[in-house]
Structure 1
Amino acid sequence: MAIEKSLYTATATATGGRAGTAKSSDGALDVVLTTPKQLGGDGAPGTNPEQLFAAGYSACFIGALKAVAGRQKLSLPADVSITSDVGIGPHANKPGAFGISVDMKISVPGLARDVVEQLVAAAHEVCPYSNATRGNVDVTLTIV
């Protein structure tokens, strides 16, 4: 998918793969990467690409919710939250490849469920993470 014009570009460099480091060009992100035991790592302190993806997708989707709510003249409560579970495992249709799945639990307190369902569906269409992964990642959206 192409974009018309880049409004912002994030730059980060990873060194060492899953057992290394990742740093953004502005220094705001500077993390130690480790491989979870479930993927053959030693479970050392640090983060991993799946955690970073879960945090990024959750934050971005909240931004998309705010955008679509604003277009509808709705105000979202400050305590909107999304917990994303990002799974990694063997790809079902590509032997030897890996894939990810995302299960989002979306909480929008104080709004009627039917309104939240409408906002979530619209946000899923405009969220850049949703658009980037559509057709390649199993994404489940659950309103809690």
Structure 2
Amino acid sequence: MLAVHRADGYPAQWPTRPSHFLRPADQLAAWVAVSGAGEVLGHVALGRDSSAGEQWTGLHGGDGTVAVSRLFVDPAARGQGLGERLLAAAVRQVRHWGLVPVLDVVAGSTPALHLYRSLGWQELAVVTQEWSGGVTVPVHCFALNSPADDGR
């Protein structure tokens, strides 16, 4: 995770306790990609809280979403489709639960925005989030409404 933070600035605010960042209290499920040598190459997690979930609920009603709350791939392991495979595993689980996958992306995260758009995620809105320390951040809210987009 430190290599990702150094390369991409993700997470945008380095957590005091990285283990809590990777295992938040609202986490519903997570997957980790590991090399043959046991090194963590990528991580994806599902949680409940997201601005995208709020946006989707405002448009469609009900409580039918689960958020992709973490997704990252070590810079040394990129370009092999690992991020897409991790994301696909998370989306399959959300669909298994009969829900809609959603996610939030910080506005300045151009590679992540490109990835989600290229995989068929629909942008719902851009909202402002208040983070710890009084930091205000614009965030893009996405949903993957159509199960037909899941296999991309």
Asked if TM exceeds 0.5, the reply is no
Bigger share in strand? 2
- TM-score, structure 2 as length reference: 0.33
- Based on CA coordinates, which of the two structures has the bigger radius of gyration? 1
TM-score, normalisation: structure 1? 0.35
